[in-house]
């Protein structure tokens, strides 16, 4: 889920022959893939602790995509007032990294509220840290720890989607119309949705999400990069990685085609797809590996010695 863009709800309906649905961050499938990779990498101790919280797979839609489902539901606005802001962090394109004061001021300005009313925790970086503490605390009620689990599974996917961590005053590409491989749909296909959905579909093809996750998990082990990814433990560092990837891979056509001046749909051709698919694949794998490490730490801590 991205921004307060309730209107962005029909991702790629024409291009993929789908009926209108909520536009998911990383796509519904991408979040399920991240959850399944993490599940495959849980320790035995963490699995036992997890079983006390839920009997659902981390790839189940009620776990992996729950945070998107409730983001604009009125019944959850009192409990999670700013949930729709928790899925991303608006690091400006020209910035080097996250600045909590700058980002808090930007959110407050967008909502037309004082900074002190909004606070500095309403972004994906801060929320990961908050909910990890809840999950790791065995004194918390089970329902609250299950809520923490759902948020964490989803937010680890969100923070690894490059356009959830960068903006050119375009809501992370949500304001940028695109012509994707010759197809133009002015109502639905935005740069952000290309990264949420199209590129994931290009990778996954006709595979079921869990089968795709198994394949990616095998590739992780073959490549031997998991330890290096696990060594980067800070959500702030993950967001910085995603921000840099957005600048290097997602945004170049926007700059090259002078979207700022012309405001014409940005053409994304096959060379763009070929260049960006490996980035998406790596980010999905990183998200799964890092989610597993985070869950192992939190669940093992909650289980005690």
Query: Which of 67, 228, 43 lies closest to 155 in space, CA to CA?
Result: 67
- Whole-model pTM: value is 0.90
Query: Which of 246, 237, 277 lies closest to 168 in space, CA to CA?
Result: 246
At 70 the pLDDT is 86
The strand pair at 178-180 and 183-184 is best described as antiparallel
Q: Calculate mean pLDDT across residues 203-208.
A: 96
Q: 23 pLDDT band (50/70/90 cuts)?
A: very low
Q: List residues bridging with 180 in a β-sheet.
A: 183, 268
Q: Calculate mean pLDDT across residues 256-265.
A: 95
Quote the mean pLDDT of the chain. 90
At 149 the pLDDT is 98
Q: The CATH number of 27-303 is which of 1.10.575.10, 1.10.3720.10, 3.30.70.20, 1.10.10.10?
A: 1.10.575.10
At 79 the pLDDT is 76
The phi and psi torsions of 21 (rounded to 5 degrees) equal -150, 175
Does the pLDDT value for residue 148 go beyond 50? Answer: yes
At 185 the pLDDT is 80
Query: Are 180 and 12 within 8 A, CB to CB?
Result: no
Does the pLDDT value for residue 63 go beyond 90? Answer: yes
At 18 the pLDDT is 31
Q: 272 pLDDT band (50/70/90 cuts)?
A: very high
The most confident of 26-30, 47-51, 117-121, by mean pLDDT: 47-51
Q: Calculate mean pLDDT across residues 264-290.
A: 97
The strand pair at 178-180 and 266-268 is best described as parallel
Which residues touch 175 (CB under 8 Å, ≥6 apart)?
Answer: 190
Rounded distance between C-alpha atoms, residue 176 and residue 303, angstroms:
46
Residue spans of the domains in the chain: they are 27-303
Does the pLDDT value for residue 38 go beyond 90? Answer: yes
Long-range contacts of residues 141-148, Cβ cutoff 8 Å, at least 24 apart = 142/52, 142/53, 145/53, 145/302, 146/53, 146/54
Q: 64 pLDDT band (50/70/90 cuts)?
A: very high
9 vs 221, which has greater pLDDT? Answer: 221
At 297 the pLDDT is 97
At 8 the pLDDT is 34
Q: Calculate mean pLDDT across residues 268-288.
A: 98
At 2 the pLDDT is 54
The most confident of 19-28, 175-184, 240-249, by mean pLDDT: 240-249
Rounded distance between C-alpha atoms, residue 288 and residue 286, angstroms:
5
User: How far lies 116's CA from each of 73, 81, 113, 174, in Å?
Assistant: 25, 15, 8, 27
Does the pLDDT value for residue 156 go beyond 80? Answer: yes
Does the pLDDT value for residue 255 go beyond 90? Answer: yes
At 13 the pLDDT is 31
Does the pLDDT value for residue 14 go beyond 70? Answer: no
Q: Calculate mean pLDDT across residues 254-264.
A: 95
């Amino acid at each position: 889920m991205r921004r307060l863009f309730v209107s962005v709800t029909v991702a790629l309906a024409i291009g993929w022959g789908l009926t209108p649905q909520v536009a998911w961050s990383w796509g519904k499938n991408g979040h399920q893939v991240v959850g399944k990779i993490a599940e495959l990498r849980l320790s035995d101790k963490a699995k036992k602790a997890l079983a006390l919280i839920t009997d659902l797979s981390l790839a189940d839609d009620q776990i992996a995509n729950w945070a998107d489902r409730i983001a604009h539901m009125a019944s959850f606005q009192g409990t999670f007032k700013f949930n729709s802001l928790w899925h991303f962090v608006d690091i400006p394109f020209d910035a080097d990294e996250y600045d909590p004061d700058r980002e808090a001021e930007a959110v407050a300005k967008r909502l037309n509220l004082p900074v002190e009313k909004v606070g500095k925790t309403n972004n994906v970086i801060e929320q990961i840290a908050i909910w990890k503490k809840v999950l790791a605390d065995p004194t918390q009620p089970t329902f609250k720890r299950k809520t923490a689990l759902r948020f964490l599974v989803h937010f680890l996917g969100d923070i690894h989607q490059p356009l959830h961590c960068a903006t050119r005053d375009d809501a992370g590409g949500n304001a940028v119309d695109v012509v994707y491989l010759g197809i133009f749909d002015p109502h639905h296909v935005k740069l952000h949705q290309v990264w949420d959905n199209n590129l994931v579909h290009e990778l996954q093809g006709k595979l079921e999400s869990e089968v795709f996750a198994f394949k990616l998990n095998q590739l992780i082990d073959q490549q031997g990069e998991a330890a290096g990814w696990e060594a980067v433990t800070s959500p702030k560092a993950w967001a910085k990685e995603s921000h840099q990837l957005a600048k290097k891979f997602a945004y170049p056509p926007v700059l090259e085609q002078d979207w700022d001046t012309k405001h014409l749909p940005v053409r994304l051709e096959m060379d763009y797809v070929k260049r960006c698919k490996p980035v998406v694949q790596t980010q999905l794998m990183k998200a799964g590996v890092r989610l597993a490490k985070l869950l192992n730490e939190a669940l093992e801590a909650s289980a005690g010695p």
